[in-house]
């Protein structure tokens, strides 16, 4: 069974994430969405809320791709998470060259920790390249329309959380 790991904070999950998840799921039999706890980032949504959003958004994708897609919270090293879930490959989305520089360093470190786990990059679709969860939250906080960047359910959750309804 080919198992892939797509890690991130997903605070919140965006259309860019969903695009990468859909494409990654077509490459593996089981795609684990690693939801980073990362207390240092101070997420807007709790771990439980982020996992629930991912599960809701990925249910349809699992049917469409024929791959099992599951959310898996983690707080340890990414390479340890990959081993915990039996992933042979870590899948990462890239939006721009700046993303690549950071990811390149991560791949090197992960390979030194465990060279049996491969990393593959998926380029963000052109229409999703500018989408970043951090920017989506900021736009929503400042009363901007984020409906072009997230699903209707996530948009509602954002507006509810920020008291914009």
* Active-site pick, 72, 95, 111, 156: 95
Residue 156 appears among annotated catalytic residues: no
* Active-site pick, 23, 62, 133, 137: 133
Residue 128 appears among annotated catalytic residues: no
Residue 17 appears among annotated catalytic residues: yes
* Active-site pick, 41, 127, 134, 164: 41
- Asked if residue 74 lies in contact with residue 111, where contact means CB atoms within 8 angstroms, the answer is no
CB crowding 98-132: b at 16 or more within 10 Å, else e: ebeeebeeebeebeeeeeebebeebebbeebeebe
- Per DSSP, 44 falls in state S
Structure tokens at 137: 């939250």
Cα distance between residue 90 and residue 112, in whole Å: 15
At 106, phi and psi to the nearest 5? -60, -45
Alpha carbon of residue 103 to chain centroid? 14
Residue 133 appears among annotated catalytic residues: yes
Catalytic residues: 17, 41, 95, 133
């Amino acid at each position: 069974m080919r198992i892939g790991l797509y890690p991130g904070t997903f605070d919140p999950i965006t259309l860019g994430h969903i695009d990468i998840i859909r494409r990654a799921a077509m490459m593996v039999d089981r795609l684990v969405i690693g939801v980073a706890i990362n207390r240092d980032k101070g997420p807007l949504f709790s771990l439980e809320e982020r996992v629930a959003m991912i599960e809701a958004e990925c249910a349809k994708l699992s049917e469409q791709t024929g791959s099992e897609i599951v959310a898996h919270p983690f707080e340890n090293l990414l390479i340890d998470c990959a081993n915990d879930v039996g992933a042979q490959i870590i899948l990462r989305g890239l939006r721009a060259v700046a993303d690549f520089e950071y990811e390149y360093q991560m791949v090197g470190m992960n390979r030194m920790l465990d060279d049996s786990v491969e990393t593959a990059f998926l380029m963000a679709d052109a229409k999703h390249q500018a989408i970043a969860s951090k920017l989506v939250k900021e736009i929503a906080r400042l009363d901007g329309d984020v409906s072009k960047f997230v699903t209707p359910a996530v948009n509602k959750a954002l507006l509810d959380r920020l008291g914009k309804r």
